[in-house]
Structure 1
Amino acid sequence: MKSTILEAIALLIGLKENVLAVRTLLNNHTGEGGFIPFKDLLDMADEYNLWKMRNLRRMIIPPLVNMCA
């Protein structure tokens, strides 16, 4: 069995007031475990006419089996 981790990084660029508006909407998503789904973030950027630079990386990490010998 293996674990999969998906990491997504986004940089949003646009008018200051639009960036600040999106940042305000993200206030409830800054705590541990409160991440917004990446697709929702991209949709929000579209609504506020922001440019998106994104990087998606998928890492597959094998389980730690027989590591302590």
Structure 2
Amino acid sequence: MSAPQEKLTEKEQVVLRCLSIGMSNKIIANTLHNSEGTIRNHVSQILAKLEVKDRTQAVIKAINQNLI
């Protein structure tokens, strides 16, 4: 199995960085010029790929694994 940072797309990495500074889906969507639905999809993919249950766990795991 590949390392988590290799599994995340560039866009997912950007969304993960936004999550790490506490941005809401709406703010991320506006910032990245995407719909909230698109951002929700990215967040869901991040959670699945990092094998965590929520945004907080994703950020903690990302920090611990030097992904962000």
Using the size of structure 1 for normalisation, the TM-score is: 0.29
- Higher share in strand: 1
Computing the radius of gyration from Cα coordinates, the structure with the larger value is 1
The TM-score with structure 2 as length reference comes to: 0.29
